[in-house]
Amino acid sequence: MLYDELLNIKSINLRDKSVLVIGSGLIAEQYALALKSFGISKVTILSNTKENVAKLCSKFDFTPLSGGFEKNLPNIPKQDLVIIATPISLLLPCLESALESSQTNILVEKPGSLYRKEFQPIIEKYSSAKIRIGYNRLLYPNLLRLKELVQNDGGITSCKFTLTEWTHKINFEKDSSDVYARWGIANTLHVISMVVDLIGMPKEISSYQSGHLDWHPSGSIFVGSGISDSNIPFSYHADWNSNDRWGIEIMTDKNSYRLIPLEDLYVCHKGTINWEKIHTTCAFPGIKPGLAEEIAVMLDDNLSQKIDLPTLSAASKLNQLAETIFGYS
């Protein structure tokens, strides 16, 4: 069972692996914490700013390297894993630079790119490299447990999900304007990736956009429905000017399930109205869920054959779906 597989990743011996982390922000720090938890010591953290990377490495006794990826990557020996955790605008340029420097096992933070067309040249040029996009929620313990439960129920019969963003909480000083103009890709794909993992990509979809936000030209209200390639009907709703939250509801012939919040799992048995929490646990409590699991999947061949992360082609399809849902040109 996949849930049990990830629960036991502590037993995987990764101590001798070499890892390069590019970036020194909050996500890079979480990756560093996960690497340390595995006992991996051959870790280099590369960043633009000498002070930031030195401070981060001092917490974990890792090797700091400053001056940016374009300058340093050509001089770095091939690593067992490269983790790219830069701002969104630098993810793809950093990936290309790593590939040009003969790195072949690379985990790129989501979404990889804001524009699906940017993936294709890399897919064609570097087909032999293992490149995965870090949709960490696909490795949430509760999602894997849900997949097992619905399989035992005989499969999913329908799905509905909510995509409302708390736009009043967004820090508009952090990123460039194109990130906010395509926020459905920059952020909301977290939810969509989980839905697609559960029911498949849409084979039919009707999408509607309405409302207005100055920084998000395609609208603020997004509703739609369709049928997935697994013949599962679905519907979704989002109103970024109102109030709601991310959430996924799954129906089977026996039960209904909720991922609300996405980190939790609840069941409502047929013939009842009460939602009961299904308790799940993870291998490394205290680390951002999914990150340690991503590292294990990228570094352990046996595990990666059972559980995988989105390829560039899969990420491109997710971006295309988001373009449809949010009305991006």
Over the stretch 243-288, which tens digit does the pLDDT of each residue have?
Answer: 999 999 999 999 999 999 999 999 999 999 999 999 999 888 889 9
Range of the domain at 319: 138-281+312-326
For the entire predicted model, the pTM comes to 0.95
* pLDDT per residue as tens digits for the range 130-155: 999 999 999 999 999 999 999 999 99
Note whether residue 300 is domain-resident: no
Q: What is the CATH number of the domain that holds 50?
A: 3.40.50.720
Note whether residue 244 is domain-resident: yes
DSSP notation for 3-14? HHHHHTGGGS--
Which of 1-10, 66-75, 230-239 is modeled with the greatest confidence?
Answer: 230-239
> In the chain, what is the straight-line distance between the N-terminal and C-terminal CA atoms, in Å?
41
Where does residue 51 rank: exposed (0-12), middle (13-18), buried (19+ CB within 10 A)? exposed
Note whether residue 253 is domain-resident: yes
**How many residues are present in the chain?**
329
Give 274's DSSP letter.
-
Q: How many CB atoms lie within 10 A of CB 55?
A: 13
Q: What is the CATH number of the domain that holds 214?
A: 3.30.360.10
Same domain, 86 and 207: no
Same domain, 150 and 249: yes
Residue with tokens 């390069």: 20
Q: What percent of the chain has pLDDT over 90?
A: 88
Same domain, 42 and 96: yes
What is the maximum alpha-carbon separation in the chain?
64
Residue with tokens 């995965």: 132
Note whether residue 223 is domain-resident: yes
Residue of 113, 110, 212 whose CA lies nearest to 167: 212
- Contacts of residue 51, Cβ cutoff 8 Å, sequence gap at least 6: none
Same domain, 20 and 157: no
Q: Report the chain's mean pLDDT, rounded to a whole number.
A: 95
